[in-house]
Chain A
Amino acid sequence: MEILIAIMIGFLYASGIYMMLRRSLVKLIIGIILLGNGANLLIFFLGRITKGAPPIIPGDAKVFTEAFADPVPQALILTAIVISFGLQSFAIVLVKRAHTVVRTDDLDEMNATDEDS
């Protein structure tokens, strides 16, 4: 199964970078989102995967008695997911704004700083 997850990570990274290399603004955002998902999955994967043992102390116990999934990567990813939502919405709005001001979807036409160029 580890191989499958590694394949997924590879696909997510590859597609994310590919989309970011496009000149279209919307594709750029989609690329960032895919890449972010890939990074989340990578962190999750590197923390080692465990099946059927969530990091929740069962019932009346006070400490874990059996194996459990590592909670640290999970906590990291949880915040990352929420933050990435903030990032995405900001990026979308930025693209929208840029589009209305510059009137182009081509990133190559946006590399001048002067508005009147």
Chain B
Amino acid sequence: MRTTIILKTASNYLLPVLLLFSVFILLRGHYLPGGGFVGGLVAAIAFILHSFANGLKKTKELLMMHPGYLIPTGLAISFLSGLVPVALFDLPFMTGLWSHDPVAILGNIGSALFFDIGVYLVVVGVTLTIIFTISESA
């Protein structure tokens, strides 16, 4: 794919910024617009942009693993976050658990946050798997 120098250079700087932004969206989701779905999509778009500028191979090298592995990881995190109250406190599946004191930046940490992180990972994994698979064989 032929790309301009500007896009190539810009995407190298944009990737970390966009990723940081996606994490920001993920974390603030509980209080303000955002969340795992949108955050995941933004992160996926960041990688796709990078792959457009530098080629799929470079992006894959950067990722170090197939994005498909993110899917089971995310699913497991989400599922376990629901399982924790069952295992530790004998509460129903997916009961929300919360820390008593607010943590810096994040505010209250709860099991819902981990659930959202799982969603984030699944969305990144699914989107990248689909796009990469298609552009590989296209």
Query: Are chains A and B touching directly in their complex (CB below 8 angstroms)?
Result: yes
State A82–B31 Cα separation when bound (angstroms): 21
Q: How far is the CB of A101 from chain B (nearest CB, A)?
A: 14
Residues of chain B lying within 8 A (CB to CB) of residue A85: 127
B134 close to A82 (CB less than 8 A): no
Interface string of A71-84 (1 = CB under 8 A from B): 00000001100100
A52 part of interface (Cβ distance < 8 Å): no
A10 part of interface (Cβ distance < 8 Å): no
State A85–B37 Cα separation when bound (angstroms): 12
B130 close to A89 (CB less than 8 A): yes
Interface string of B19-44 (1 = CB under 8 A from A): 00000000000011100010001000
Please name the residue on chain B nearest to A85 by beta carbon: B127
Segment 112-138 of B: residues with Cβ below 8 Å from A: 123, 126-127, 130, 134
A-B contact count, CB below 8 Å? Answer: 16
A56 part of interface (Cβ distance < 8 Å): yes
Residues of chain A lying within 8 A (CB to CB) of residue B32: 56
Interface size band for A? 10 to 19
Interface string of A43-78 (1 = CB under 8 A from B): 000000000001010000000000000000000001
State A30–B11 Cα separation when bound (angstroms): 30
B134 close to A54 (CB less than 8 A): no
B134 close to A93 (CB less than 8 A): yes
Please name the residue on chain B nearest to A54 by beta carbon: B33
State A93–B32 Cα separation when bound (angstroms): 36
B33 close to A56 (CB less than 8 A): yes
State A78–B31 Cα separation when bound (angstroms): 17
State A40–B54 Cα separation when bound (angstroms): 36
Residues of chain A lying within 8 A (CB to CB) of residue B134: 89, 92-93
A residues sitting closer than 8 Å to B (CB atoms) are 54, 56, 78-79, 82, 85-86, 89, 92-93
Having A82-B41, A85-B127, one finds 14 other A-B pairs with CB under 8 Å, namely A54-B33, A56-B31, A56-B32, A56-B33, A78-B37, A79-B37, A82-B37, A82-B123, A86-B126, A86-B130, A89-B130, A89-B134, A92-B134, A93-B134
